[in-house]
């Protein structure tokens, strides 16, 4: 059994291949992208971070692991570009990661029935971002709305109640 490549090794190889505009194949598996990668599958990768847009499935190094998740947003600041991603089957977002961690973009997956091209799901990416915003802000607003609704219902019930009842 041969050892798994380290994320840093694949990142270095990906940078070299990105300079030459290469496309390669890797084997990928995991539960975070739903049933698509539940079993080990071969996937074609366009190496490099150029041309990435929200909705693409991006391959990046996170610590000693390699992650394939859907790209939700690209943020720029004075330190460079940072990316926000999420697995399609995950509830939470991944932490921001820098552009230097990007290995490439997944183009297609080889299924037993044949290759399946991975489409850019921009609408899904925007809905995930909106859901994250709601998830972050809803608890406080829901508590406040619940208190207001409970107080309004109490006033309504007490206003219509008969004296002495």
Q: What is the pLDDT of residue 69?
A: 92
71 touches 138 (CB < 8 A): no
Successive 10-residue mean pLDDT values, the chain, 165 residues: 54 58 79 82 86 91 85 91 89 88 89 87 85 72 67 60 49
Three-class secondary structure assignment of the chain: CCCCCCHHHHHHHHHHHHHCCCEEEEEECCCCCHHHHCCCEEEEEEECCCCCCCCCEEEEEECCEEEEEEEEEEEEECCEEEEEEECCCCCCCCCCEEHHHEEEEEEEEEECCEEEECCCCHHHHHHHHHHHHHHHHHHHHHHHHHHHHHHHHHHHHHHHCCCCC
How many domains, in total, are found in the chain?
Answer: 1
Whether residue 23 lies inside any domain: the answer is yes
Which structural domain, as residue segments, surrounds residue 61?
7-121
**Any domain includes 42:** yes
Of 117, 128, 123, nearest in space to 87 by CA: 128
Does residue 134 lie in a domain region? no
Cβ atoms of 63 and 78 within 8 Å: the answer is no
> Is residue 2 situated within a structural domain?
no
The pLDDT score that the predictor gives to residue 21 is 64
Is residue 147 domain-resident? no
Residue 67 counted as domain residue: yes
CATH number where 63 lies: 2.10.109.10
- Give me the pLDDT at residue 74, please: 93
Residue 145, in any domain of the structure: no
Give a yes or no: residue 68 inside a domain.
Answer: yes
User: What's residue 11's pLDDT?
Assistant: 58
């Amino acid at each position: 059994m041969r050892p798994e490549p380290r994320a840093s090794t694949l990142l270095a190889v990906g940078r070299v291949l990105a300079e030459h505009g290469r496309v390669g194949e890797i084997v990928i598996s995991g539960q975070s992208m739903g049933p698509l990668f539940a079993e080990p599958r071969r996937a074609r990768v366009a190496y490099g971070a150029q041309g990435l847009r929200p909705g693409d499935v991006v391959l990046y190094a996170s610590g000693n692991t390699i992650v394939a998740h859907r790209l939700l947003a690209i943020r720029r600041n004075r330190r460079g570009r940072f990316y926000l991603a999420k697995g399609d089957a995950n509830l939470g977002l991944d932490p921001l990661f820098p552009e230097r961690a990007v290995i490439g973009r997944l183009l297609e997956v080889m299924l037993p029935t044949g290759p399946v091209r991975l489409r850019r799901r921009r609408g899904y990416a925007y809905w995930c971002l909106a859901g994250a915003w709601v998830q972050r802000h809803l608890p406080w607003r829901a508590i406040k709305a619940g208190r207001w609704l409970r107080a309004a219902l109490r006033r309504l019930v007490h206003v219509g109640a008969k004296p002495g009842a």
